Amino acid sequence: MKNITAIFSAFGLDASQYLIDQSSTGLINQTFIVSDKISSKRFILQQLNTAIFKNPIAISDNIKLASASILAVDENYPVIKINPTLNSEDYFVDEDSNYWRLIDFIENTTTIEAIARIDQAYQTAFSFGKFTSLLQNANTENFIPSIPDFHHLDLRFEQFKTAYALTDDERKSKAKDCIDYLLSRIEIVNIFNKIEKELLIPKRIIHADTKISNILFDKFSLAPKAVIDWDTLMPGYFISDLGDMIRTMVCEAGENESNLNKIIFRNEYYAAIISGYKAAIQLTENELNLLSYAGKFMTYMQALRFLTDYLNNDVYYTITYPEHNLDRAKNQCRLLQVLEENT
Ligand code: GN1
Ligand code: MG
């Protein structure tokens, strides 16, 4: 970390009084856990990835709006607390135009990187459902999407078509099965367009990154304690949040698994996710009719995004070998098939 002293002093802190640990999790922002050598008080110091989050102020404004709205309903909810700089700004912008923020650390908590038990699926779904439910009085129009059209499936489909038109023959032919399969399931895009056009379901404030590692669990009781990573809070449909939980928790093997025989549907996990979510939030009749669409919607979109990145010569997702994105796309296509067979 460059300019440690300048960054700390912008927040009124003396860098020499703090221990700094880089956190290894999180692929997008750079995260440090800093602790006061004497009092042990801890903060999260983060450099926001402004290549992806082009409007940092929108993010901190969204977080503050959401906090106020949640606290009005539940004054004890562990909201994200952003510590302002001495100039009362939400970020310190360093000489290289990097955006730094200082967030309170929520003590006595632990995270789960990979789901191991059915009750964790229920708790995760309950926590994210509760989060959106607590935000139901918030005015969605006041939230600025930190990534515009993030989960707009039709736009993702357009991006795929553009990538296909520009890619070389080799990638086109290697990706052929995957492309044909997704084209054969175009109905999933059509349903999204119908939802949009006919205003079938409400726009809610969604979290848009509902993986289990974005829940803090109590270190001792292991009960869920807080929802973290509010950077993608935005108006959207419940199918994004519920669907991403189904996509990431229903199968033991994750999106990086290249052995497709390991993509197996776990009905008990699926049932736990659905019941945890439904227990936390009152869904409309149209929403209830789309429960089984949610997982297909998100899995289709993720397959399309990995495939598009492969066709674009891997410019978005970090890859560790040449066909990584293609393998991920195939993995998600298989998962989609499995979801279609079982839900
Ligand atoms: C990215 O980096 P991570 O895992 O938080 C992506 C998600 C995808 C996910 C797939 C801002 O999230 O939308 O579902 O990869 N986030 C962004 O692994 O694009
Ligand atoms: Mg994230």
Check whether residue 98 and residue 153 sit in a common domain.
no
Check whether residue 166 and residue 78 sit in a common domain.
no
| Residue 209 counted as domain residue | yes
DSSP string, 61-75: HHHHHHHHHHHHH-T
Report pLDDT for 114.
Answer: 87
- Of all protein residues, the one whose alpha carbon is nearest to atom 11 of ligand 1 is 52
Q: State the distance from the centre of ligand 2 to the C-alpha of 16, rounded, in angstroms.
A: 30
Taking alpha carbons only, the member of 121, 85, 102, 115 closest to residue 271 is: 121
- Which atom of ligand 1 is least distant from the CA of 208? 13
Name the β-bridge partners of 82. Answer: 103
CB 237 within 8 A of CB 203: yes
- Which atom of ligand 1 is least distant from the CA of 255? 18
Report pLDDT for 343.
Answer: 97
Cβ neighbours around 170 below 10 Å, total: 8
Structure pTM?
0.95
Give the DSSP letter of residue 45: E
Q: State the distance from the centre of ligand 2 to the C-alpha of 338, rounded, in angstroms.
A: 26
- Of all protein residues, the one whose alpha carbon is nearest to atom 18 of ligand 1 is 255
Q: State the distance from the centre of ligand 2 to the C-alpha of 40, rounded, in angstroms.
A: 27
| Residue 112 counted as domain residue | no
* CA 273-278-279 angle, 5° bins: 100
Number of domains present in the structure of the chain: 2
| Residue 294 counted as domain residue | yes
**What domain range is 246 assigned to?**
118-342
- Which atom of ligand 1 is least distant from the CA of 244? 14
DSSP string, 201-229: S--EEE-S---GGGEEEETTT--EEEE--
Ligand nearest to the CA of 31: 2
Report pLDDT for 27.
Answer: 65
Residue with tokens 């360093």: 94
3-state class percentages of the chain: helix first, strand second, coil last, to nearest 5 = 50, 15, 40
**10 SS3 class:** helix
Check whether residue 279 and residue 133 sit in a common domain.
yes
Q: State the distance from the centre of ligand 1 to the C-alpha of 28, rounded, in angstroms.
A: 8
- Of all protein residues, the one whose alpha carbon is nearest to atom 14 of ligand 1 is 302
Check whether residue 68 and residue 190 sit in a common domain.
no
CATH of the domain at 36: 3.30.200.20
- Which atom of ligand 1 is least distant from the CA of 306? 10
Check whether residue 173 and residue 295 sit in a common domain.
yes
Taking alpha carbons only, the member of 247, 300, 230 closest to residue 80 is: 230
Check whether residue 63 and residue 166 sit in a common domain.
no
With the most atoms of ligand 1 within 8 angstroms of its CB, the residue from 25, 27, 28 to mutate is: 28
**How far is the C-alpha of 46 from the C-alpha of 23, rounded, in Å?**
10
Check whether residue 264 and residue 314 sit in a common domain.
yes
Q: State the distance from the centre of ligand 1 to the C-alpha of 250, rounded, in angstroms.
A: 18
- Of all protein residues, the one whose alpha carbon is nearest to atom 4 of ligand 1 is 27
φ/ψ (deg, to 5) at 148 = -60, 140
Check whether residue 330 and residue 243 sit in a common domain.
yes
Residue after which a domain boundary falls, among 63, 86, 107: 107
Check whether residue 64 and residue 192 sit in a common domain.
no
CB 193 within 8 A of CB 227: no
Residue after which a domain boundary falls, among 107, 141, 161: 107
Residue after which a domain boundary falls, among 107, 131, 151: 107
Tell me the per-residue pLDDT of 101-145, one tens digit each, with 9 for 90 and over: 999 999 999 999 889 999 999 999 999 999 999 999 999 999 999
pLDDT tens per residue across all 343 residues of the chain: 668 999 999 999 999 999 999 886 666 788 999 999 999 999 999 999 999 999 999 999 999 999 999 999 999 999 999 999 999 999 999 999 999 999 999 999 999 988 999 999 999 999 999 999 999 999 999 999 999 999 999 999 999 999 999 999 999 999 999 999 999 999 999 999 999 999 999 999 999 999 999 999 999 999 999 999 999 999 999 999 999 999 999 999 999 999 999 999 999 999 999 999 999 999 999 999 999 999 999 999 999 999 999 999 999 998 999 999 999 999 999 999 999 999 9
Check whether residue 78 and residue 219 sit in a common domain.
no
| Residue 113 counted as domain residue | no
CATH of the domain at 229: 3.90.1200.10
